[in-house]
Amino acid sequence: MKTNFKRIALIGKYTSASVSSSILRLAEFLEQRGHEVWTTVHTADNCRITRLKSAPLVELAGRIDLAIVLGGDGTLLNVARVLADHPVPMIGVNQGRLGFLADVSLDTMLPTLEEMLSGQYVAEDRIMLECHLERHGDLCDAAYAFNDVVVSKGSTGRLIEFEVYIDDKFVYSQRADGLVLATPTGSTAYALSAGGPILHPTLEAFVLTPICAHTLSARPIAVNSRSEIEINLIHADDARVHFDGQRHRDLIIGDRVVVRRAKNTIRLLHPAEHNYYDTLREKLHWGEKL
């Protein structure tokens, strides 16, 4: 099957210049196939790449047909939030550690991408979160999250108290270190560490997982992805809301964090042999003998 990926952006891990040689090698490969290759200004500066055309990612978002991200899952999360309003599919080349999202191996990058760019891939649409922070009745901040939105204690380390509403219905009040509201993609991240379940990426659901709640009865809850979740901060000496663990805003008592499903989805492209359960088994070391 022929693909329509004429313009391709190569985006490297933001804190590492070590991806430079991989980007240049990949750029040469793509140009030989007839693709128009771009990179982001940040990647070009960080990796000291001068021969590729570059522009800010926010500008490239409306002009490219495909984004290839070289890094770990954190890099891909960052890119996904910028591309959230644009139907640009992404391929992740894993230069990180876990690689739940970036699943193309660096060692087999070129032959794997040759197959994928020839149409041999699995496409997967994943839901995102849109979060609004309201203070005194006004919109204070808005952000996307691909993995999770987390309301948690700040640097003082003291418990916070909050109320949770789902579709305007009161669910509970909690005293805890915080609450993780995760997409299926984010269910294998912070939510999993906090004791939440693993959700298959194609599920139309979110999971709410308390963090070290001051009660033995606190349990994760999975809800329909069309639900609107409201978290009201009742008491805290220091609290924050985090978006994918990469951006945060300080919270004050009375703040209202409203989370709903984002209008658009993120499309990930995987190698043709991709199997989510294989990924779980490999990354979580299921079945290994001690």
Q: Are 103 and 121 in contact (CB under 8 A)?
A: no
Known catalytic residue: 45? no
Q: What is the DSSP string of 203-214?
A: -SEEEEEEES-S
Q: Are 187 and 246 in contact (CB under 8 A)?
A: no
One of 45, 65, 73, 278 is an active-site residue; which one?
A: 73
Q: Are 271 and 137 in contact (CB under 8 A)?
A: no
Burial class for 280, CB neighbours closer than 10 Å (0-12, 13-18, 19+): middle
**Three-state SS letters, 23-43:** HHHHHHHHHHCCCEEEEEHHH
Q: Which residue do the tokens 């992404």 mark?
A: 90
Consecutive H or E run containing 250 = strand 247-251
Catalytic residues: 73
